[in-house]
Amino acid sequence: MKRTHSVLASGLVFAGCMRATVPTPAKYEEDASITFPQFFSQPAVSLGTEGTVYALDGDTLRALSVATRDLLPPQDATVSCGSRWESQQYRVVRQGDIIFIRIDEDPKACGRTQPALDSGASYAVHRDGRILRRLIDGQTDVSKPGDAGVPSTPGEPGAASPDALGDGPSPFLPRSWQDAGAPDPAPFQ
């Protein structure tokens, strides 16, 4: 009798451990009509201030968790520093039932000065946890026509329309990378 109980208890513990390590895939519905907000157009309020109380509702926490689990691998000891949840910077903008999330690698968390290329993503998550839209850096934005941002007539080198720049570069990139291809002050002769 005792052996039956211990086998049953061991089986439940083992099943619980297995279930905890296998993430449930997020429900995903690509809605190309959703436009992401300008995440870097204004300063964000940082939650790192000591002694300050912040409120985070459950819908926002769920959306943040869904986006993080979708972008980053399951967390264990073998995950590289740049892929850890705590090595990211998160920006959240809520508009009605949609929670917009921007995730970028924070290179300082791993002792580096630059993030890995294409290491960020933008998400639109419904308050019920469904991913409505995701745009991972380096992938084509399906909501824009193939020539979006490309002028139909050639312009001056180093010049770009404000619309072609989107919401600007990530603040984690060095200033020297943010010159948008400014022309050399001493052109070739």
- DSSP readout, 52-117? ------HHHHHHHHHHHHHHSPPPSTTS-GGGSGGGEEEEEEEETTEEEEEEEE-GGGGT-SSPPT
Residue of higher predicted confidence among 151 and 86: 86
Q: What is the pLDDT of residue 165?
A: 44
Residue 56 has pLDDT above 80, yes or no: yes
Residue of higher predicted confidence among 60 and 180: 60
Q: What is the pLDDT of residue 145?
A: 59
For the chain, domain boundaries: 23-37+48-144
pTM of the model: 0.62
The closest alpha carbon to 81, from 58, 106, 100, 99, belongs to 106
| Torsion-angle region of 28 (φ positive above 0: left; ψ -120 to 50: alpha; else: beta) | beta
Q: Provide mean pLDDT across the span 122-142.
A: 91
Q: Provide mean pLDDT across the span 111-124.
A: 88
Q: What is the pLDDT of residue 9?
A: 45
- How does DSSP classify residue 125? E
